[in-house]
Amino acid sequence: MSARLLGPGEAVDVPTEWPIRSHEVLGEGAVSDYVDDVVATPDGAEMHRQYLLHPGAVAVIALDEADRVVVVRQYRHPVGFQLIEPPAGLLDADGESWLAAAQRELAEEAMLAADDWRLLIDMFTSPGCNSESIRFFLARGLRDVPRPDGFVVEHEELDMEICLVPLADLLDGIYAGRVQSPTVVAGALALEAARLGGRLDSLRPADSPWPAREARTRHLEAIAGLA
- Chain-centre distance for alpha carbon 49: 22
Instruction: Give the E-state strand segments of 93-211 in sequence order.
Output: 112-124, 133-144, 161-166, 204-205
Of the listed 65, 157, 161, 214, which one is catalytic?
157
A 10 A CB-CB count for 101 gives 22
For residue 204, list its beta bridge partners: 119
Q: Which helix (H) or strand (E) element contains residue 68?
A: strand 68-76
Query: If you compute the radius of gyration of the chain from its CA atoms, what whole number of angstroms results?
Result: 19
**Residues whose CB falls within 8 Å of the CB of residue 185, separated by 6 or more in sequence, listed in order:** 174, 179
**Spatial separation of the C-alpha atoms in residues 87 and 28, rounded to whole Å:** 26
Q: Report the SS3 class of residue 171.
A: helix
**Spatial separation of the C-alpha atoms in residues 219 and 17, rounded to whole Å:** 8
Mark whether 46 is an active-site residue.
no
Residues designated as active site: 157
